[in-house]
Every structure is written in C-alpha cells, then in structure tokens.
Structure 1
C-alpha cells in the first residue's frame, strides 16, 4: 500500500472544486454557524468554480444545542445540496436509543442526556436497569421519541458513511488498513481508532476524519484529524482543500462547561 498510496503533501482536490471538511460539532450550534459564516465569506470574496462543505459526523450529544444543529444542517442542505453530511457514531447512537432505550449504551453514557434536553426532555442519569430507574428511563424515552421530529429521524437515517473527492477520502472515524476503500465497513468508518491511527503506511487516498479529539488539527502523511473537541474546547476546525493547496480553518467561541 505504501508504494501506491497518496502522501498528504502530494494530494490534490479536483480541479475547480474547493472542499471544506468540518470536524465533530457535538451540539455546538454557535461554532457550526460561525464556521458556515466563515466559509460563506471565503466563497464570496475568493470565489471558486464549485465547492462542497463536508460535515464529518457527530452532530449530537454533549453540547447544548443538538436539536438546533440538526435543524441548521437540514436548512443548509435544503438551500444547497453541496452541503454534505456524513454519519458519526453518536448520530447512529441517537437512532439506536430512539429505537430501544439502553441505560448502558452510547447515548446515555456519553452525552445523550444533553441531546434530550435540547428537545425539552429530561432523562434520568444512567443507573442500571432496575426498579424506578428503569421506569423513569422508559418514560423519558417515550417522551423523547414523541419530541424528536420525524424530519430529524429521516435526516439521521439518510447520512452516508463516506465520500471521496480527488485524492481525499472523508469519513467520521477512519478506515481499516488493507481493506479497499469501497469495501470499508460502516462500523469501522464510524468507530475505528488504534488500527487506523497506528498504521505507518500510506492509504490509497488521504483520509480526512474526526472522532478522536486532538488539541489542534492533526496533519499526518496519510490522514488529517479535524476533531478538536469543539463541544468543550470552543474550537471547531476544518480542512480546506483547493487544488494542491491545503490549510486548516478554525473558529472559536466560549468553552462549554457540561
């Protein structure tokens, strides 16, 4: 794979197509809106023949505004289908919880309580499946199912797991080394970490991903990580690809105390 792979320094986007790949949002509407304003300003003052804005997943959980983030993305996609959204593990976890409440699942353990709050629903802290805790969780689940608009469920179900442009492959978490890009499993595309991060060789395309928080965007020979823990750090990052030119774009706001 090393011999046929693409190095970040050599990677190019398609001619005339500027790409913006935005990292994990996790309920931070303020940062997402700020990033979109920044991108819109760039497109106005430095036009390009065509463009795509690629959101790398994890729109929900942890931050305060998951519901509004989904509304924002739905509006953006309706205005212009060049706004693309990929699935993250938290977005799939939200769907899983709506289908069946699980006190020990991703949603309840890692920020879903904040997601429910954004829909006006209070869920009990995960405390096991017995007695009053189980009853409270099931009641909260039923209230949340009723509160989540069908358009939001349809949006989450519609999210693809990857997209590719030029020498770049975009997904939420990463890929399984040695497996062709077109044969990657959805599970790996939204969950993988160590096997992907530790792979020393080049990939067929440069992998642009989030999922694993880093203090600042991480540029490696074979991958770029733009998850800068926006929900907590107050910094949302994106990779910009314009032909052979590559750069990191950031917007900042207040840190969020959960």
Structure 2
C-alpha cells in the first residue's frame, strides 16, 4: 500500500518544505502527496514555494486551494479593495508581492489613500494565478476528506459555500459528526490543543485531524503520514506575527 503524505500551511517557507519532504523520504512513485493550501504569504519565498508546488503537482501530487490563495486571486484579478488592503496590510500579501520583485511603494495603500488596483506585471505571477484558479477546494475519498479549513456540519460538501471550506474554524472543530475522517490545515494546532507550546498534529475525537503546526509563526511544518498516522516535522527558525 502506498503511503499518503499530507502537508499544509507552508506560507512561503520553502526551505522548511524542502527539508520536510527529505525528512519524510517522499518519493512520487511510491507515495501520494496532498498539499492543503496556504503556500504563500508572510514567509520569505512565496513565489519559489508556488514554483515548487507546481513541480510537485506535475510529478503527481494533489494541491488544494487555501484562503490565502483565494485572497491573492480576489486582490489581483477581481481588484476588490477591501480584500486588497486586508491581504497586503494584515495577512502577508506584501511579502508575497515582494517575492516577485515588486517594491512596497507600488502596491501598498494607507487608510486615507484612494484605492486604484495596482498594475503589477510578471510572467511568473500570471502563471501562478492561473494555477491557483485551477485548484480544487477539497478531495473526497471513501473514508477521508482532504480540505484546507474544514467542512460545514450538516451541509453536503458540494452544496457548501467555498468561503466556508477556506475559512471555517470552531463550528467545524466542535460540531463535526461525520463518518469520514477530515484532514485539514488553516487553524494552528496549538489553538486546537489550547497549548501555546504544542504544535503537533491534532487528532480530534470526532474524526478530525489538524496538521497546521504554525510554521510561519515560529512553530513547525508537519507532515502527516497515512495509514499509520505518523508525524514528521521540521522546526521553524524564525517567528512572525500571529494572524489568520
């Protein structure tokens, strides 16, 4: 039986991802690899991380969309002012744009500034936006669901607002009662444990498995290995502010 490796919330920490794949001895011909979103923002290498994710997908991995990829698309393609200010001002989009070589002065707006969608041109950025738009929100298998944030209790996946799949937290964590095991990221596991020092994979009693170790916040990047539910992790070397 093939191993299944699951990783989430890389947030531009390419070195940690590379080290984690090596530590887990990932081999595309022998293993399945699921990446659960949030490849970008806050960390130093968002562009390079997306290049790596595309390379992994071309080699057979499955990549899902996260809420940070969704913010990126809504900011750069839809030109939504509220999302733009939120993405670049609070959620690490500034680090992502800088990784493509854009200067902060070309895309940051202050509270009193009149908003006009910046014109940012980059072949890599355009290719990455096209890739992100192609990503699914979830993968459902006979006994498992792979997803970024979680499922809406009592609502079929195919009928759920995609916003919920990318952003849901407590309602899912506390009220999920489905028969399938849900493997998700998005919420750092220290919050699920209620322990600031515990970034390990969270195995909930209600068939939920949270794997976001808060790597970009100074925690760790986790890899869940199935079917044995084994954990392989790489510790972070740097800390950034704790946002969503």
| TM tier relative to shorter chain | 0.7 to 0.9
Partner of 1:104: 85
Q: What is the CA–CA distance in structure 1 between the aligned matches of 2:71 and 2:240, rounded to whole Å? A: 23
Q: What is the CA–CA distance in structure 1 between the aligned matches of 2:80 and 2:111, rounded to whole Å? A: 12
Secondary structure at 2:104 match in 1: coil
Structure 1 unaligned blocks of 5 or more: 1-15
RMSD (CA atoms) = 2.3
Task: Work out whether residues 113 and 122 of structure 1, in 8 Å CA contact, stay in contact via their aligned partners in 2.
Answer: no
TM-score by length of 2: 0.83
Q: Which has the larger radius of gyration?
A: 1
Secondary structure at 1:105 match in 2: helix
Task: Work out whether residues 238 and 248 of structure 1, in 8 Å CA contact, stay in contact via their aligned partners in 2.
Answer: yes
Residue by residue over 1:126-161, the C-alpha shift from the partner in whole angstroms, topping out at 9 and shown as x without a partner, is 422525xx46xx4xx313x43643321111111100
1:128 to 83, 88, 111: 111
Partner of 1:142: 119
Q: What is the CA–CA distance in structure 2 between the aligned matches of 1:203 and 1:192, rounded to whole Å? A: 16
TM-score by length of 1: 0.79
Deviation beyond 4 Å, 4+ runs, structure 1: none
Q: What is the CA–CA distance in structure 1 between the aligned matches of 2:188 and 2:173, rounded to whole Å? A: 12
Q: In the TM superposition, what is the alpha-carbon distance from 1:239 to its structure 2 partner?
A: 1.4
1:231 to 216, 220, 225: 216
Task: Work out whether residues 90 and 107 of structure 1, in 8 Å CA contact, stay in contact via their aligned partners in 2.
Answer: no
Q: What is the CA–CA distance in structure 1 between the aligned matches of 2:240 and 2:170, rounded to whole Å? A: 28
Task: Work out whether residues 109 and 126 of structure 1, in 8 Å CA contact, stay in contact via their aligned partners in 2.
Answer: no
Partner of 1:117: 98
Q: In the TM superposition, what is the alpha-carbon distance from 1:97 to its structure 2 partner?
A: 1.1
Q: Tell me, yes or no, if structure 1 residue 55 matches structure 2 residue 35.
A: yes
1:67 to 47, 50, 71: 47
Partner of 1:156: 132
Q: 1:206 to 1:107 in 2, by over 3 A?
A: farther
Residue by residue over 1:8-40, the C-alpha shift from the partner in whole angstroms, topping out at 9 and shown as x without a partner, is xxxxxxxx232111021001001111122123x
Q: In the TM superposition, what is the alpha-carbon distance from 1:43 to its structure 2 partner?
A: 4.8
Secondary structure at 1:198 match in 2: helix
Q: In the TM superposition, what is the alpha-carbon distance from 1:165 to its structure 2 partner?
A: 3.4
Q: In the TM superposition, what is the alpha-carbon distance from 1:180 to its structure 2 partner?
A: 2.4
1:219 to 196, 199, 203: 203
Secondary structure at 2:189 match in 1: coil
Q: In the TM superposition, what is the alpha-carbon distance from 1:51 to its structure 2 partner?
A: 2.7
Q: Give the paired residue count.
A: 226
